[in-house]
Amino acid sequence: MAEETKSLRDIRYDKLKRLRERGVDPYPTASARSHSIRGVISAFEQLGGKEVAVAGRVTALRTHGKASFADVADFSGKIQLYFKSDLLGERYELFALLDLGDYVGAAGKVFKTRTGEISVAVERLDVLAKGLRTPPVVKTEKTAEGDVVHDEFGDPEKRYRQRYLDMMVNEPARACVLAHAQFLRAARRYMEQRGYVEIETPILQPLYGGANAQPFTTYHRDLETDLYLRIADELYLKRLLVAGFEKVYEIGKDFRNESIDRTHYPEFTMLEAYEAFGDYRTMMALTEGLVVAAAEEIRGTLKLSYQGRELDLTPPWKEMPMVATLDERMKKFGVDDVLRCDEKKLEAILRGGEFAPLWPKVEGRWSRARALDVLFDALVVPELWEPTFVTDIPGDLSPLAKRQRVNQALAERFELYICHLEIANAFSEQNDPEEQRKAFEAQAKARAAGDEEAQQVDEDFLEALEYGMPPAGGLGVGVDRLAMVLADAPNIREVIAFPQLRVKK
């Protein structure tokens, strides 16, 4: 946005003063709006010739002698206002005191101009909020080569620092944030129709768990103890299964003290759900239905595009076994069986050649399972565009999941990928307290060896399991990433209303 000069602000302050001198309150308590702008336009056949009262922000001003025009927008749309001195009388002079960005209320009869534009012939004009700063300008110029957008507010950092301005002038920015909200609405409706109960669990926790991540730490003065912003909802939602709830879910914020990039953000929205007497296959069907319902809500179709490439969300979605796929891909590196190959050979492959840049992700936290996870991300994930359930995941990557009934080296788990993004993760949940303790203790050893993201032994959760938790399926959906896909947004920060940035010094 171009730096606003002092004289422009002085002009606006002068208009504010003149409004007050005329006895006009430039910031009244309420407005007399009777219709949304979309409501007027969509019901023109019934409202034509009748009086309505609309309200919105001034986006354009045009004067032609004793007649003037303004475009006014509310959240639902835009309409033209027609001002004429013989309709407004002395109040017509208020038009000269309006600026782009002001909020106004206008009452008058609905009509259609000679060019067919639905408009309001204003008989009463009210200033609802006088803008004291000039809003940034976004204009689209039609040229022989196509549309050219001139955006005074195009710098990404400025957009994110003043997101309210970004959403004010950029329709795509509003659409991304709206898509996130539409997903939440669709998800709640979908879950409740299937008998799930939404329950809030603690955000501040005495012991963090449910995922491999580093937490944010805070201190509670009255309790005189450190607390952690949750990294997952899982362990408390599963306590609800112990309590006798059979279908529970939560949509809320989780926090992981990690880096920010196109697909990662430290404060993110998760949908977690748990169903007693189900398993990961139950969650697979739930996930497929949830994404389909959200796509139909937001995009109105299952055949859409993401960043210029076609995407078809029509079920059924394909499945891909992780280990078997890696066995095939790793043959060219002399590995036939990734679960049984020599660890030193696997380490040498990761340390050198094309995989060398990946070694820092494993160094200091080495395990076969982690190495396979990194290799899968490098060799296979870039190919996963259409919705794909990745199954047969190594059990050592899944300390809260049941092992497969046939192959104990693998977990009953899937990860859902869409457009190269991991969207969801689900297990058949571990409900054997002794097996869960073993998994926690293995995590504790990894933590002692330097893996800061390994989970801790949660004695309270283990005690809860000892009272009995039914077999269950559990699911976690990354709401922000899924909203990215459904909003056709290139960056996760586009679907977050007010993303964090480095503090400006």
* Residue owning tokens 């050219």: 148
Residue with tokens 């094309």: 354
Q: Look at residues 346, 366, 324 and name the one whose alpha carbon lies nearest to residue 454.
A: 366
Q: Closest Cα to residue 181, out of 294, 89, 278? A: 294
- For the cut 80, the answer to whether the pLDDT of residue 187 exceeds it is yes
Tell me which of 24-28, 141-145, 192-196 is least confident.
141-145
pLDDT digits 0-9 by tens, 405-464: 999 999 999 999 999 999 999 999 999 999 999 999 999 888 888 788 889 999 999 999
Question: Rounded distance, CA 345 to CA 334, Å?
Answer: 9
Q: Which residue has the higher pLDDT, 65 or 297?
A: 297
E strand or H helix at 124, and its extent? strand 118-129
173-317+397-495 is classed CATH 3.30.930.10: yes
pLDDT exceeds 60 at position 375:
yes
CATH superfamily of 6-129: Nucleic acid-binding proteins (2.40.50.140)
**In angstroms, rounded to a whole number, what is the distance separating the alpha carbons of residues 96 and 68?**
10
What average pLDDT does the chain have?
Answer: 93
* Top-confidence residue, 505 or 316: 316
Chain-centre distance for alpha carbon 452: 27
Q: Is pLDDT above 50 for 2?
A: no
Q: How far apart are CA 195 and CA 189, in angstroms?
A: 10
How many whole angstroms separate alpha carbon 182 and alpha carbon 176? Answer: 10
Every domain of the chain and the residues it spans: 6-129, 173-317+397-495
CB atoms within 10 A of CB 292: 18
| pLDDT on residue 147 | 62
- Dump pLDDT digits (tens) for 82-138: 999 888 888 888 999 999 999 999 999 999 999 999 999 999 999 999 999 999 877
The pLDDT of residue 502: 84
